[in-house]
Amino acid sequence: MAEQPVESGVSRRGLLAATGGFAAGVAVGTLLGGAGLAGLKAKAQEVPAWPWPYVKLDPDAVAQKAHASFYEGACNYAVAKAILSELRDKVGHPYTVIPYDMFRYGEGGVVGWGTLCGTLNGASAVIALVTGKPAYPKLINELMGWYTQSEFPRYVPAGQQALPTSVSGSPLCHVSVTKWAVASGYGADSKERAERCARLCADVARRTVELLNAHLDGQFAATFVPPESVKTCLSCHGKENLNNVRQIKTDCVQCHAPHET
């Protein structure tokens, strides 16, 4: 537990864990008598303060764990578990109480609906959990933008060959998978596509840790620039004019044909 920072926002329970754990809590409770026990019981039932403490992680270790975890519970689970379990090992409580299995729902863009890529869903939840305001929207925005504009998959497990790559242009599972299937020639239902998604878990988990490490060091700087179509389309559809599109960052022409005003 030596690596656990004692944050100002940490709960009493977190503090107990940091200073010797549950057994120390028992001793304190015994010494304090009835009132102490009641207070200890109340504190033990508190939600740990947000954001949860983050310590620098090794992007390579997290990437390797995310790749392996894909085959346990798919994309959303893999990215969340890879980062949260590393934090569990390094920080302890409160990362001991978060249920990784909850994240299984994000598979295939939420139980196969092809919406948000599960890697981004899991990564975004973790970023929000460990950074808080005002950082998390900036870091997630950067991750989402990077995802839409990058060649994937990059990760290659030891002793294996690289897979063909593609750029999704979108954070949606349906678009990401189909673009890769067309580019690679592998079926969307193939074991190669599954391995592509496993490697994408590694890529997204690694990038997430890089962003979190940079943020911890005060070195995070946003670089994502939305596609030109977003600016063009919002010039009419945005709040200054038609006001029928709230906000968007994805390339509009993936779904909408360009048109004259």
Using CB under 8 A as the binding rule, whether residue 26 contacts its own copies is answered as: yes
Minimum Å gap between C-beta 228 and its own copies is: 17
Token readout for 130 is: 């460990």
End-to-end CA distance of the chain: 62
Tell me which residues in 38-57 interact with its own copies (CB under 8 A).
38, 40-41, 44-48, 50-52
User: At its nearest, how many Å lie between its own copies and the CB of residue 158?
Assistant: 27
For residues 207 and 219, what is the distance between their CA atoms, to the nearest angstrom?
A: 14
**Of 67, 104, 196, 215, which lies in the binding site for its own copies, with binding defined by CB under 8 A?**
104
The angle, 0 to 180 degrees and rounded to 10, between the axes of the packed helices 173-184 and 191-216 is 120
Helix (H, G, I), strand (E, B) or coil at 166: strand
Q: State both tokens at 24.
A: 């120390």
Q: Looking at this protein, which amino acid is placed at residue 86? A: E
Per-residue binder mask for its own copies (CB under 8 A), 59-88, x = binder? ------------------------------
8-state DSSP, 2: T
Binding of residue 129 to its own copies (CB under 8 A): yes
- CA torsion sign for 100, 105, 109, 111 is positive
Contact track, its own copies, 130-159, x by CB under 8 A: --x---xx--xx--x---------------
196-235 residues in contact with its own copies (CB under 8 A) are none
Quick one: how far is CA 153 from the chain centroid?
17
Instruction: Please report whether residue 35 would count as binding its own copies according to CB under 8 A.
Output: no
Question: Which span sits near its own copies by CB under 8 A: 64-72, 128-136, 155-163, 205-213?
Answer: 128-136
Nearer to its own copies, 99 or 159 (CB): 99
In the structure encoding, which two tokens stand for residue 241, read together? 């004019």
Return the residue of 74, 75, 172, 202 that touches its own copies, per CB under 8 A: 172
DSSP letter at 171 equals S
